Amino acid sequence: MEISTNKVVSLKYKLSNHQTGEKIEETNEENPLVFLYGVGGLIPEFEENLAGKTVGDTFDFHITATNAYGDHDPQNVAMIPSDIFHNDEGKFDHEMFQVGASIPMSDNEGNHLTGKIVEVDEENVKMDFNHPLAGTDLHFSGEILEVREASEEEIEHGHVHGEHGHHH
Ligand SMILES: [Zn+2]
């Protein structure tokens, strides 16, 4: 069975930084990526590269940052007054607010976002709200483990049920 819209696909992959070769994440047979193909849940170019493949086929391709998680946008880097992070005693928690830490935040509309700390001083915390993989060209390699028809219920819900899918 070939991969096409409304098939349930299981695959293992290794994701690395296309420029540096550094590994970003890896899935295996025990913990595969399982998804409903063609419903727009993944990076479109990722799905395009898998079209027509079948069990046992391997893949090896890269996607530029622009077509993956986007380019790094300097407008998404903000200086935030450090006093909003002060604790009850009016002190700044230096343990928690270290360069490189990811801090859950919300914007004016109450949307949740994660900011990564770039710089800290007494007045300001400089935070980067870009996706962690913004600006990174992604390299994927791996193997198709299973392709099956989706059930009517899965198609209706737009996601996969079962062992590696939604439980409800
Ligand atoms: Zn469901």
CB of 12 closer than 8 Å to CB of 30 = no
- Ligand 1 centre from 57 Cα, in Å? 28
Q: Is residue 132 helix, strand or coil?
A: coil
Average pLDDT score over residue span 3-30: 97
Question: Which is higher by pLDDT, 96 or 53?
Answer: 53
Run of H or E including 44 = helix 44-48
> Cα(51) to centroid of ligand 1, in Å?
24
Q: What residue has token string 């949307």?
A: 111
Instruction: Please report, for the chain, the start and end positions of each structural domain, with discontinuous segments joined by +.
Output: 7-69+134-157, 74-128
The whole-number pLDDT of residue 167 equals 82
Could you tell me whether strands 77-81 and 124-128 are parallel, antiparallel, or unpaired per DSSP bridges? antiparallel
CA of 3 to the centre of ligand 1 (A): 21
C-alpha 16 to ligand 1 mean position (Å) = 31
Q: Tell how far the Cα of 159 is from the centroid of ligand 1, in angstroms.
A: 6
pLDDT digits (tens, 9 = 90+) for 38-94: 999 899 999 999 999 999 999 999 999 999 999 999 999 999 998 888 778 877 777
Confidence of residue 145 (pLDDT cuts 50, 70, 90): very high
Question: Quick one: average pLDDT of 3-18?
Answer: 98
Residue 93 CA, ligand 1 centroid: distance in Å: 42
Kindly tell me the number of DSSP H helices and DSSP E strands found in the chain: 2, 9
Q: Which class is domain 74-128? A: mainly beta
37 Cα to the center of ligand 1, angstroms: 15
pTM, rounded to two decimals: 0.82
Instruction: Evaluate the CA torsion angle 28, 30, 33, 36 in order and state its sign.
Output: positive
CATH 3.30.1330.10 for domain 7-69+134-157, yes or no, is no
- Compute, in angstroms, the gap from residue 167 CA to the centroid of ligand 1: 7
